[in-house]
Amino acid sequence: MDNKDKERIGQQIEDLRDKIRHHDYLYYVLDQPEISDREYDLLVRQLIELENKYPEFYSPDSPTQRVGGTPFEGFGTVEHSYPMLSLANAFSHQELLDFDRRVRNVVGDEAEYVVEFKIDGLSVSLEYENGRFVRGSTRGDGQIGENVTENLKTIRSIPLKLNKPYSMIVRGEVFMPKGHFAELNKQRESEGLPTFANPRNAAAGSLRQLNPRVTATRHLDIYLFNLEYVSEHTIDSHMQTMDIMKEAGLKISPFLFKTASMEEIIELCEKWTDKRHDLAFDIDGLVIKVNSMAHRQLLGSTSKTPRWAIAYKFPAQQEETHIRDIEIQVGRTGVLTPTAVLDPVKVAGSVVSRASLHNEDYIRDKDIRIGDHVIIQKAGDIIPEVVRVLKDKRTGEEKEFIMPKFCPVCGAHAIRLEGEAAVRCTGNACPAQQRRLIIHFASREAMDITGLGPAIIDQLLANNLISDAADLYYLKFDQLVELERMGNKSANNLLTAIEESKTRELERLLFGLGIRMVGVRAAHLIAEKFGHIDRIIGAKEEEFLAIDEIGEKIAQSITAFFKEGQNLKLIDKLRKAGVNLQQRSVLLNQEEQRLEHPWKGKSFVLTGTLSDYTRSQAKALIEERGGRVTSSVSKKTDYVLVGENPGSKLDKARELGINIIDQQQFKSML
């Protein structure tokens, strides 16, 4: 390629980047898209193809570099060039008037304010050098924060390259819109994961993910509200800084109101106390800032807060209602959650008729009874909660609530492990848990039933073809071909995969049963110790405690599981279906096996995505044959097992002349 062609291609790539940045700004910042999603996707695809074909034109601020490739072990730290101070809070109109008086005592009657939303999210600092985004960090303790640059790059409203070549430091608030928060919690609930309490917690947890690809799925957004430093400008006022940030292509605070009247500000506080529920994102107050930079200099700051700004915090809207009853909801993880059934009442913009009471400790601590009159509010303006009981309104007819000893859905024992607040159903055949348990049973690290995904499991449950995991082994071809999108070949493949899973080791079955607190490692240790499911069923708690790494909670959980009748029936169904119930490796002389295998004493490093094994499965296979797995490549490494999209470890292995094997070679060496 001659210089002219190279220059032409380079310009084509840069033109595409500029065009995509322009449409990103219109869509994510101004909410005014000019092209369809399909047209946008075609532009991005064209850019990716050119960048892959001509890697010499790589640029860290390209729109294609939004998501980091690999997770990192932890966040580094960033020392803030400008301290990220907290704001003093005002909880009443009088405190706002006092703030105004203090300001005017210093700067006189020329005091002027800017009012903004107080976004309820996570404060961050963004640093740009010559218009390029170079670093982003959390607030931390105000002096030192965490380096979350790669995660911030996944937020589409943060430009990787500014419209102007400014060097600047800006501060803003990362948040999760209410709609995406609701979707995220719904998804987590369906997967049996704990839900987030409010959008602020969800945003904070998402931004601090060690894997940027997870952050990228969370639909975070940002508003910028402070300009700490900018090159090429002399700053006179806060409103001027907002204009500069907007001109640079940054997404600034959506509400700005300039006034010299504290009375007008108080009216705004009253107005937005009610109207905040109409917004697509959470605000927990309004921020009032002195507009003039000269006046800010005169007012100064304490070691923690600026004297030129204050945050008015909205009062939580509370309402009185009556508890008609307390019902038990059984979640997908088997947790029994008491829920108050309320007289409907409007709170924070919506009608509330139910409120979670979390667990029996919560009920006992607040002394909540059926028939009580209570005050409720929405935690984070989202989740209804009982604040307190109006005990002076009790008539004596109120009833104390007692957590049930048995699951109200399936009748299995409900237990509370020592040190935990939750009461859980121990039944493996509990209808409330079945979907999650069957998905887990079929997963790769458990019974590894290829082709049995959530969509097919949903159909099997909906058509009453299965009621628990053991029923999978009794499915017939004629039943499967009747399912939507299930042809003859797919049905045969699924039946073959189910049949093959019967031969899995006991440890895989033990993990697949979904016993509380029994993970892959614990299942392996227990299977190796006892060798057969019947010995595990008959074992006492102290026998589990005798195993290294098995603690009291795991021992309690596994003994409780095998005391439950419906779980024993499940094991019996698996036995009759021909599922393996023993750890075959226990029946062999393992030491002799290790001595004979060529991997004894050999060191392995794994890199890339393994399609045929999980990492833990590959590690276990190596260790069973006397080898060991390390995390980094060195001269002492004997083999590097390579999967798809390997990282820098492959390059290091080539450089050192280490034996490199793929999954096919790995299988043959087994």
Is residue 118 among the annotated active site residues?
A: yes
CB within 8 Å of 69: residues ≥ 6 apart: none
Mean pLDDT of 490-519: 92
pLDDT at 270: 92
The H or E element spanning position 405 is: none
In the chain, residues under CATH classification 1.10.150.20 are 434-584
Per the prediction, the chain carries an average pLDDT of 87
What integer pLDDT is reported at residue 592 of this predicted model? Answer: 53
| CA separation, residue 279 to residues 120, 206, 272, 276 (Å) | 12, 21, 10, 6
Q: Phi and psi of 511, rounded to 5°?
A: -65, -40
CA distances from 586 to 225, 448, 505, 532, 543 (A): 64, 21, 10, 9, 17
88-313 belongs to CATH 3.30.470.30: yes
Q: What are phi and psi of 143, to 5 degrees?
A: -105, -40
Query: Residues of CATH 1.10.287.610 domain(s) within the chain?
Result: 3-65
Catalytic-labelled residue, pool 4, 6, 53, 118: 118
Sign of CA dihedral 156, 157, 161, 167: negative
Instruction: Give the CATH fold of the 590-669 domain.
Output: Rossmann fold (3.40.50)
Q: pLDDT band for position 185 (50/70/90)? A: confident
Alpha helices in 290-420 (DSSP H): 293-299, 360-366
The pLDDT value recorded for residue 332 is: 64
- Choose between 557 and 191: higher pLDDT: 557
pLDDT band at 111 (very low <50, low <70, confident <90, very high): very high
Which part of the chain is CATH 3.30.470.30?
88-313
Q: Give the model confidence (pLDDT) of 527-583 as tens digits.
A: 988 889 988 998 989 999 999 888 888 999 899 999 888 899 999 999 999 999 988
Mean pLDDT, residues 66-89? 74
Region of residue 334 (phi > 0: left; psi between -120 and 50: alpha; otherwise: beta): left
- Residue 269 pLDDT exceeds 90: yes
Query: Does residue 387 contact residue 342 with C-beta atoms inside 8 Å?
Result: no
CATH code for the structural domain at 3-65? 1.10.287.610
- Phi, psi values for residue 380, rounded to 5°: 60, 25
What is the per-residue burial (b if ≥16 Cβ within 10 Å, else e) of 572-591? ebbeeeebbbbbebbeeeee
Q: Cα–Cα distance between 405 and 494 in angstroms, integer?
A: 39
Of 390, 470, 473, 396, give the one whose Cα is nearest residue 438. Answer: 470
Task: Indicate whether 290 pLDDT > 80.
Answer: yes
Distances (CA, A) of 643 to 41, 208, 614: 29, 28, 11
Distance between first and last Cα of the chain? 47
Q: Give, for 323, the enclosing helix (H) or strand (E).
A: strand 319-330
DSSP 25: I
* Identity of the residue numbered 248: A
- On whether the CB atoms of residues 62 and 51 are closer than 8 A, the answer is yes
Q: For residue 669, how far is the Cα from the chain centroid?
A: 39
581-630 confidence digits (pLDDT tens): 988 766 554 455 555 678 888 999 998 888 777 677 788 788 877 888 88
Residue 175 in tokens? 């948040």
316 pLDDT exceeds 90? no
- pLDDT of residue 149 exceeding 70: yes
According to CATH, the superfamily of the domain at 434-584 is: 5' to 3' exonuclease, C-terminal subdomain (1.10.150.20)
Q: Where exactly does CATH 2.40.50.140 map onto the chain?
A: 319-394
CATH of 319-394, one of 1.10.3980.10, 2.40.50.140, 3.40.50.620, 3.10.20.30: 2.40.50.140
Give tens-digit pLDDT for 223-264: 999 999 999 888 999 999 999 999 999 999 999 999 999 999
> What's the predicted TM-score (pTM) here?
0.54
